[in-house]
Amino acid sequence: MSLRGLIDACRTAGVLAAEPDATTLAPATCLRINAPQWAQAAALARAAGWRWCALWADEIDTELEACCCLERGGRYVVLRTRPGPGEDLPSHAPVYPAADRPERHARDLLGLRFADAPDGRRWTRHRAWGAHEFPLRQGFVPNPAPPPTPPDDQYPFLAAQGAGVVEIPVGPVHAGIIEPGHFRFQAVGEMVLNLEQHLGYAHKGIERLAQGRDPAGLARLAARVSGDSTVAHAWAACQALERALALTVPPRALWLRALMAERERIANHMGDIGAICNDVGFVFAQAQLTRLKELWVRENHAAFGHRFMMDRVVPGGVCAEPDPRALAGMAAHAGRLGAEFAALIERIEASESVEDRLMTTGRLAPDQASLLGAVGYVGRASGQTFDLRRDAPYPPYDRLDVPVPGYRAGDVAARAKVRAEETLVSLQLVRKLVEGLPDGPIAVELPRGGRAGEGLGLVEGWRGEIITYVRLDARGRVQRFFPRDPSWLNWPALELLIQGNIVPDFPVCNKSVNGSYSGQDL
């Protein structure tokens, strides 16, 4: 169903509280929904084929407001509603399972309650504040010298049942250098019956820290939402800010942002494909891909002054004009690396032992991926081929051809293959971006004195779609910042795809998903 069809269906069902607004959060259209019909609106959207993307809450003039973002065919809709005092919103989770954790997050941080929610357990609250304290509410006063947070050892995991069923706790502290996350397995022998995640141990309070910042300060904070996605998150935040401020970014700055985003994608894909190979004992591939990644990030430093290009994307443009000599050699290096990378992928695919470990392992069926709204390479390996760069292109991707690889096998092999093919596409895009880089300024000044407004950022990060909401006050200071990392949608997929696999295959399944532990404080 088209956008017009969804609007007509909502109007006919009597769930619209106001006429559609196509300007406030453009390119998304806002639909104001009557609070009691909040779940009915979701049911209409799902029946019409709209994908559930994100939910965030806000406090405006002491009233709580809920916002839900949906997508279909590259068009975006934001549903908005304000429940009355003491009123619970009908939950979206029975209609869209992806809504479960975001609703629990909104309840923990703002006190927004949802009726008929399938899971009433806390999600974000890790005993750092009381059950009736909500750190994103206006009246919340943080403790300037908080005591150590007690260990969160009372989370009510689902209990193991049945003869021969055992529980295996993994984490939250791991043997390697990865961030903390708890995984509770229920297994018979080595066969996994169920996996339950408990995340949020890397909670940094990003949404609270954003309050009161100026645009430049918000961009720096956004670059630290998830350190391996520093370019993508900063771009999404700046895009939202620039839309809120009605700011036009110079073409050269947009092309440089895309160049950095593709370089970020290539570095992460190469590193993770190598890590997947290492998890199944093919150390040669990991060593070679790590070498190629190191050469790549060194070139980032030569061109942009930072290996991971942190703080190079700023409101109004970019702050790093590439060194001309580094830029001149970038396209040639992309060609050489592409040839070497392709040869390595051929060798990996020719390995029978690697094939035996990856094929049919950790399969996420297309209908499961669709139900969860999986994005990025997790979704594309399971039949969900959405990519903002192609399906809802923003400059400069509206002037570029972006092939999007996709498969339906949904196993570790398919996720690795999607990432390998994406890497080759991005290497071609790097060459096109360098060769077509327009002349001109790399930034524009922000309006003096600031202005009130709100904006939505939509950027395809290397993990998938990033959705960022920003609201500014009359001074241009941040009142609300919500950066939805792709991991919010992809982490639940891991719980499904591990079922029926053996416990020793969990590391490679986990690496094939590679959700961020700290993206938006999961």
Which CATH number does the domain housing residue 70 bear?
Answer: 3.30.460.80
Total domain count, the chain: 2
Would you state the structure tokens that stand for residue 370, as one six-digit string? 């669709």
Q: Is residue 128 part of a domain?
A: no
Query: Is 250 contained in some domain?
Result: yes
413 within 8 A of 359, measured Cβ to Cβ: yes
Is 161's pLDDT higher than 90? Answer: no
Among 81, 115, 149, give the residue marking a domain's end. 115
Q: Tell me whether strands 317-318 and 313-314 are parallel, antiparallel or unpaired.
A: antiparallel
| pLDDT score at 518 | 87
Residue 95, C-beta contacts closer than 8 angstroms, at least 6 positions apart: 39, 42, 43, 46
Q: What type of residue is 234?
A: A
Q: For position 134, what pLDDT does the model report?
A: 93
Tell me 109's DSSP state: H
Digit-coded pLDDT (tens) for 316-346: 999 989 988 888 899 999 999 999 999 999 9
Within a domain: residue 168? no
Is residue 159 one of the residues assigned to a domain?
Answer: no
d(CA 11, CA 137) in angstroms, rounded, equals 32
The pLDDT value given to residue 175 = 77
What residue type is assigned to position 469 of the chain?
Y
Model pTM?
0.96
241 and 104 housed in the same domain: no
Q: What number of other Cβ atoms are within 10 A of residue 269's Cβ?
A: 25
383-406 tens-digit pLDDT? 999 999 999 999 999 999 999 999
Residues 211 and 106 grouped into a single domain: no
Taking only the tens place, the pLDDT of each residue in 435-459 is 999 999 999 999 888 889 999 999 9
Beta bridge partners of 21: 30
Dist CA 460 CA 474 (whole Å): 30
Q: How many CA atoms within 13 Å lie on the side-chain side of 102?
A: 29
Q: What is the mean pLDDT of residues 344-373?
A: 96
Question: How large is the angle between the packed helices 251-279 and 324-350, nearest 10 degrees?
Answer: 30
Peptide bond into 172 cis (omega under 30): yes
**Structure confidence at residue 90 (pLDDT):** 97
pLDDT of residue 103: 97
Query: What distance in Å separates the CA atoms of residue 357 and residue 355, rounded to the nearest whole number?
Result: 5
| Alpha carbon distance 97, 51 (integer Å) | 11
Asked which of 115, 135, 160 is the last residue of a domain, the reply is: 115
d(CA 278, CA 293): 15
Residue 125 has pLDDT above 90, yes or no: no
Please indicate, yes or no, whether residues 95 and 231 belong to a single structural domain of this protein.
no
Taking alpha carbons only, the member of 483, 519, 486 closest to residue 236 is 483
Mean pLDDT (whole number) for 188-202: 93
Quickly state the pLDDT bin for 432 (edges 50, 70, 90): very high
The answer to whether residue 288 sits within a structural domain is yes
- Local structure of 458: helix, strand or coil: strand
pLDDT of residue 153: 81
pLDDT at 55: 98
What pLDDT shows up at residue 86? 86
**CATH number for 384:** 1.10.645.10
Do 214 and 356 sit in the same domain of this protein? yes
Q: What is the CA radius of gyration of the chain?
A: 23
Note the pLDDT of residue 236: 98
Whether residues 350 and 497 fall in one domain: yes
**Within a domain: 137:** no
- pLDDT-based confidence at residue 146 (cuts at 50, 70, 90): confident
How many of the other CB atoms lie within 10 Å of CB of 20? Answer: 16
Answer yes or no: is 184 within a domain.
no
Q: What is the pLDDT of residue 256?
A: 98
| Residue 80 neighbours by CB distance under 10 Å | 19
Q: Which amino acid makes up residue 483?
A: P
| Integer Cα distance of 338 and 349 in angstroms | 16
| Contact status, residue 363 vs residue 497, Cβ threshold 8 Å | yes
Q: What DSSP letter does each residue of 47-85 carry, written as one string? A: HTTPEEEEEEEEEETTEEEEEEEEEETTEEEEEEE-PPT
Give the tokens for residue 312. 């190079």
| pLDDT on residue 522 | 63
Q: Helical H runs in 134-250?
A: 206-209, 215-222, 230-244
Q: In sequence order, what are the beta bridge partners of 482?
A: 469
Indicate whether 127 belongs to any domain: no
Work out the average pLDDT over 275-290.
96
Cis peptide leading into residue 27 (ω within 30°): yes
Provide the domain limits for residue 107: 3-115
For the chain, how far is it from start to end, CA to CA, in angstroms? 33
Give the DSSP H or E segment for 31: strand 29-32
Q: How far apart are CA 466 and CA 484, in angstroms?
A: 6
In the chain, what percentage of residues exceed pLDDT 90? 85
CB atoms within 10 A of CB 471: 17
On whether both 330 and 442 belong to a single domain, the answer is: yes
Q: Give residue 375's pLDDT.
A: 98
The predicted model gives 241-267 an average pLDDT of 97
In whole angstroms, what separates CA 183 from the centre of its chain? 20
Identify the three-state secondary structure at position 131. coil
Angle of CA points 450, 55, 459, to nearest 5°: 60
The pLDDT of 57-79, averaged and rounded, is 96
pLDDT at residue number 293? 97
430 in the same domain as 281: yes
Tell me the C-alpha to C-alpha distance, in Å, between residue 195 and each of 121, 123, 171, 185, 418: 16, 16, 13, 5, 25
The verdict on 96 and 225 lying in the same domain is: no
- Indicate the range of 216-220, 235-239, 245-249, 517-521 predicted with least confidence: 517-521
Last residue of a domain, one of 96, 115, 134: 115
